[in-house]
């Protein structure tokens, strides 16, 4: 079973890689022009029309989910400083919604007996909860702050805001594999790939010994990267849903780099 799950997790990565290959046309980061190799602040893609701009990215999705990593379509902020990246990681980790979502996923994991050794009831829930929160914190600080600062990668999500559904969907999902560096050039998203891998390696130290195997780690890695890809897709289309379906409108303001 563990081997099958591990193959499923790795399969998720291959699926994303396939989407990337299919989306070469859509793979250009809005924060640069193809082949320019200039900083994002100088080479950002401008909206194609001089009229109405795409809806901006809100700081929260559904009024709950933090969206500090998103950059609105057409905005061209400078590369994040280490302090800015640290603040974004901290906001994502300790936002009130993080405690709620960790509680929900912990209840689900306990109910499905994901880790039998952790037990059940209030004590079992507590064991699931703190491990789930540490998983989240490790991933956030590695993927958003530590590795991007070291590798000079910009882990913010640059919304496309325009184009057909599939072009935007493939572009947004592929951002877990491609990200701009500090010079605005697209590069392999090592911060995401290595960060999620390192977070799984760290988790070996605090999960039950019977769950410390390659299959379980590969499955959790696949879920983490797949979840980030789906989150990017949701980020991409949420402003449109918010404006055209829910008829809520946000005033566009200069990007704070978060």
Residues 6+ apart with CB under 8 A from 63: none
* Segment 164-219, tens digit of pLDDT: 999 999 999 999 999 999 999 999 999 999 999 999 999 999 999 888 888 888 88
* Segment 50-101, tens digit of pLDDT: 557 888 998 898 888 899 999 999 898 999 999 999 999 999 999 999 999 9
- More confident position, 88 or 31: 88
Angstrom distance (rounded) from CA 149 to CA 46: 27
* Segment 224-256, tens digit of pLDDT: 999 999 999 999 999 998 877 776 665 554 444
* Segment 67-78, tens digit of pLDDT: 999 999 989 899
257: left (phi over 0), alpha (psi -120 to 50) or beta: left
What are the φ and ψ backbone dihedral angles of 28, each rounded to 5 degrees?
A: -75, 125
What is the per-residue pLDDT for 249?
Answer: 61
**What mean pLDDT value characterizes the chain?**
81
Cα distances from 216 to residues 20, 82, 120, 128, 139, in angstroms, run 25, 33, 21, 16, 17
What is the per-residue pLDDT for 128?
Answer: 96
What is the per-residue pLDDT for 247?
Answer: 62
What is the per-residue pLDDT for 24?
Answer: 42
3-state SS, one letter per residue, for the chain: CHHHHHHHHHHHHHHHHHHHHHCCCCCCCCCCCCCCCCCHHHHCCCCCCCCCCCCCCCCEECCCEECCCEECCCCCCCCCCHHHHHHHHHHHHHCHHHHHHHHHHHHHHHHCCCCHHHCCHHHHHHHHHHHHHHHHHHHHHHHHHHHHHHHCECCCEECCCCCCHHHHHHHHHHCCCEEEECCCCEEECHHHHHHHHHHHHHHCCCCCHHHCCHHHHHHHHHHHHHHHHHHHHHHHHHHHHHHHHCCCCCCCCCCCCC
For residue 204, count other CB atoms closer than 10 A to its CB. 13
What is the per-residue pLDDT for 44?
Answer: 39
- More confident position, 102 or 210: 102
* Segment 105-119, tens digit of pLDDT: 999 999 999 899 999
Please state the domain extents for the chain: 2-245
What is the per-residue pLDDT for 53?
Answer: 80
């Amino acid at each position: 079973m563990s081997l099958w799950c591990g193959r499923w997790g790795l399969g998720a990565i291959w699926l994303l890689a396939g989407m990337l290959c299919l989306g070469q046309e859509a793979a250009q980061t809005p924060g640069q022009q193809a082949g320019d190799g200039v900083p994002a602040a100088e080479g950002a893609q401008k909206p194609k029309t001089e009229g109405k701009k795409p809806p901006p990215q809100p700081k929260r999705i559904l009024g709950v989910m933090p969206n500090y990593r998103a950059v609105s379509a057409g905005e061209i902020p400078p590369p994040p400083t280490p302090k800015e990246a640290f603040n974004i990681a901290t906001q994502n980790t300790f936002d009130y919604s993080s405690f709620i979502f960790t509680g929900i996923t912990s209840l689900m994991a306990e109910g499905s007996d994901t880790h039998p050794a952790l037990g059940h009831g209030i004590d079992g829930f507590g064991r699931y909860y703190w491990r789930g929160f540490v998983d989240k914190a490790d991933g956030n600080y590695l993927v958003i702050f530590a590795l991007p600062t070291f590798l000079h990668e910009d882990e913010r999500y640059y919304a496309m805001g325009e184009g057909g559904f599939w072009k935007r969907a493939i572009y947004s999902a592929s951002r877990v594999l491609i990200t701009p560096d500090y010079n605005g050039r697209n590069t392999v998203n090592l911060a995401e790939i290595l960060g999620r891998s390192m977070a799984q390696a760290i988790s070996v130290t605090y999960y039950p010994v019977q769950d410390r195997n390659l299959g379980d780690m590969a499955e959790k890695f696949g879920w983490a990267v797949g979840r980030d890809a789906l989150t990017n897709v949701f980020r991409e289309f949420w402003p449109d849903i918010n404006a055209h379906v829910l008829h809520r409108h946000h005033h566009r303001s200069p990007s704070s780099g978060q």
